[in-house]
Chains A and B, each alone.
Chain A
């Protein structure tokens, strides 16, 4: 079976830094994705890691450790518009190599 764990909710202050953790146990692994989803909208792609290490993209960075089955998304200089759900997803190595999603972390940014 597949399993992805993320905290359900987090709150952070505008201008601060927040780290959202994700641990996964999947039957196969071909990359880890982070998506942002605002309420009632479709997910939008944020980052992708397939090798261990840190990928930086502007205010967003994502880290992966395949041996630990662990990733995190780091958001810097938080803005009010960053309030959203953040979904961790693993691309499986079986079947159609689809994405298996975690339940998401609802981030609330407060002034």
Chain B
């Protein structure tokens, strides 16, 4: 149980393209989803917290207009990297929390490797 599906797994595109990444909780409802970014040999850095039906909460230094987050249902959150540039190339990982409050565990998707040429 508690499977998180992330799609696509890999994207290679030209600079200036907008890229949408989907994160789905397959067998549970997730009121909260998290988006992380990871550079090679570095740890996961939280970008934003996505709450169903409300605006996402962004971490300091993360551009809201650059990284658009939509959490339209209890099982789907999307991250759109708008007008992507080479410096946006990274490994993006979503995570969904099952259960309410602190008792819910965080389950991770398989990640999306984004390469901007």
Binding site for B on A (CB under 8 A): 30-31, 33, 35, 40-45, 48, 87, 91, 95-104, 106
Contacts and interface: CB of A to CB of B under 8 A. Distances in A.
B3 to A, nearest CB: 12
Contacts of B6: 42
A43 B102 contact: no
Interface of B: 6, 32, 34, 36, 41-46, 49, 51, 57, 91, 93, 95, 101-102, 105-111, 113
Contact of A102 (B34, B43, B93, B102): B43
21 contacts: A30-B102, A31-B102, A35-B108, A40-B111, A40-B113, A42-B93, A43-B44, A43-B93, A87-B43, A91-B102, A95-B49, A96-B32, A96-B34, A96-B57, A98-B49, A99-B46, A99-B95, A101-B36, A101-B43, A101-B45, A104-B43
Contacts, number: 53
Contacts of A45: 105-107
Interface centre among A35, A42, A91, A102 (most CB of B within 10 A): A42
A28 to B, nearest CB: 11
B79 to A, nearest CB: 15
Contacts of A102: 43
Contacts of A97: 101-102
A101 B44 CA distance: 6
Nearest to A96: B49
Nearest to A50: B102
A44 B107 CA distance: 8
Contacts of A103: 42-43
Contacts of A40: 91, 111, 113
Contacts of B93: 42-43
A40 B102 CA distance: 29
A48 B44 CA distance: 18
A110 B42 CA distance: 23
A99 B106 contact: yes
Given A42-B109, A44-B108, A48-B105, A98 B46 contact: yes
